[in-house]
Amino acid sequence: QPARSKPQVVILATGGTIAGAGASATNSATYQAAKVPVDKLIAGIPELDNVAQVRGEQAFQIASESFTNDKLVELGKRVSALVKDPQVDGVVITHGTDTLEETSFFLNLVIRSDKPVVLVGSMRPGTSMSADGMLNLYNAVVVAGSADARGKGSLVVMNDQIHSGRDVTKRVNIQTNAFYSQWGPLGMVVEGRTYWFRTPAKTHTTRSEFDIDTLRSLPEVHVLYGTGNMTPEVYKAAARAGARAIVHAGTGNGSVANYLVDTLKALRSEGLHIVRSSRVGDGLVLRNSEQPDDKYEWVVAHDLNPQKAKILAALALTKTGDTKELQRIFWQY
Ligand SMILES: NC(=O)C[C@H](N)C(=O)O
């Protein structure tokens, strides 16, 4: 077959601020997300034509805070079908930034392909002054069409940086430098070229034991946030509401208040899993630090923040209910 001159990239649009519109150019924070259809986004960047052959597909038109487990599974299945198409070299997903880190981690774990899957959003709507969506989308298409982006797991392109979809998190709610990875970005994309500096160490995509093609749904996992003066009843309510695991977004090292410990132990003995993460954001929670996890059969979230731990716990619970296995999964991914 003759080599194609340009990579073929599909832009799968889900909504978010990158498809947002405000009343005036000064509305950078007050606007409606998920308004502009994907074909209009593509038409607004004729330069895309220089770097890839692009086509759009509208998966959803929602703000990302409204993503559900069912939507994650539906999106994952569509991405999987696209990357199996020999005509497709890479996929870009336009996404709201609020839960982009959950979707990127989920796809990093369930898409069994080494083709680039690149998530992108924006912090300002396209109608605003210094809107960031156009360049972010252009950069994302460049990365999705790059052979050197293959095999690196899902990627997030924001603000000229290329992040691992596993590591990245939204840290600022109102500026264009919103995304951050505690272990650093993987690379940069500048003027249509990629520059790489590191690769992910954790298992992903082609080597993952999770597979979107056989996944039908995700079990319920709730995150409960550690503060002073917690209420044990809230943990029991999560269990009654059908949670199979609770991610405890603990203070500091994932610590648990002394008056909560008995409730968490009792819930564990009833079959619910306890995953200790931290509300701090950076760092990592170690086993048997703060609490005797071995004795209580609790799991620690390693370096995953609570919302990422929720995604991995849900996927892990589709495979096992064994605490040691769950912990092995948290170390590995
Ligand atoms: N900047 C954004 O995209 C925020 C928006 N609420 C969303 O996540 O859809």
pLDDT above 80 for 283:
yes
Atom of ligand 1 nearest to the CA of 123: 1
Query: pLDDT class for 1, splitting at 50, 70, 90?
Result: low
Average pLDDT, the chain: 97
Flag whether the pTM goes above 0.95: yes
Is residue 176 within 6 Å of ligand 1 at its C-beta?
no
Catalytic residue among 14, 97, 99, 176: 97
Could you tell me the pLDDT band of residue 195, with boundaries at 50, 70 and 90? Answer: very high
Yes or no: say if 15 and 33 are a contact pair by the CB < 8 Å rule.
Answer: yes
d(CA 214, CA 235): 31
For ligand 1, atom 7, the nearest C-alpha belongs to: 96
Provide the 3-class DSSP secondary structure of residue 97: coil
Task: Please give the pLDDT value at position 4.
Answer: 72
Which tokens belong to 160?
């000229």
Q: What angle do CA 107, 111, 114 make, to 5 degrees?
A: 110
Residues 119-129 have a mean pLDDT of: 98
pLDDT grade for 64, boundaries at 50, 70 and 90: very high
First to last CA, the chain: 37
Q: Is the pLDDT of residue 20 over 90?
A: yes
- Give the number of the atom of ligand 1 that is nearest the alpha carbon of residue 63: 9
pLDDT above 90 coverage of the chain, percent: 98
Q: What does DSSP assign to residue 149? A: G
The pLDDT, as a whole number, for residue 237 is 98
**β-strand 245-250 against 273-278: which pairing, if any?**
parallel
In percent, the amount of the chain with pLDDT more than 70 equals 99
- pLDDT of residue 199 exceeding 90: yes
For ligand 1, atom 1, name the residue with the nearest CA.
Answer: 123
Say yes or no: CB of residue 102 within 6 Å of ligand 1.
no
**At 3, is the pLDDT very low, low, confident or very high (cuts 50, 70, 90)?**
low
> Can you tell me the mean pLDDT for 124-145?
98
pLDDT digits (tens, 9 = 90+) for 76-98: 999 999 999 999 999 999 999 99
- DSSP per-residue letters across 205-273: GGG-S--GGG------EEEEE--SS--HHHHHHHHHTT-SEEEEEEBTTTB--TTTHHHHHHHHHTT-E
Span from the CA of 32 to the centroid of ligand 1 (angstroms): 9
Instruction: From the CA of 65, give the closest atom in ligand 1.
Output: 8
pLDDT bin (cut points 50, 70, 90) of residue 189 is very high
Mean pLDDT of the region 23-34: 96
**Cβ of 172 below 6 Å from ligand 1:** no
* In the predicted structure, residue 18 carries a pLDDT above the cut 60: yes
Give the ipTM.
0.97
Active site residue 103: no
Is residue 175 scored above 70 in pLDDT?
yes
Q: How far is the CA of 18 from the centre of ligand 1 (A)?
A: 8
85 Cα–ligand 1 center, Å: 30
Q: Is 17 known to be catalytic?
A: yes
Res 262 pLDDT > 90: yes
pLDDT of residue 231 exceeding 90, the answer is yes
Distance (Å) of CA 209 to CA 165, 204, 292, 297, 333: 17, 9, 29, 23, 10
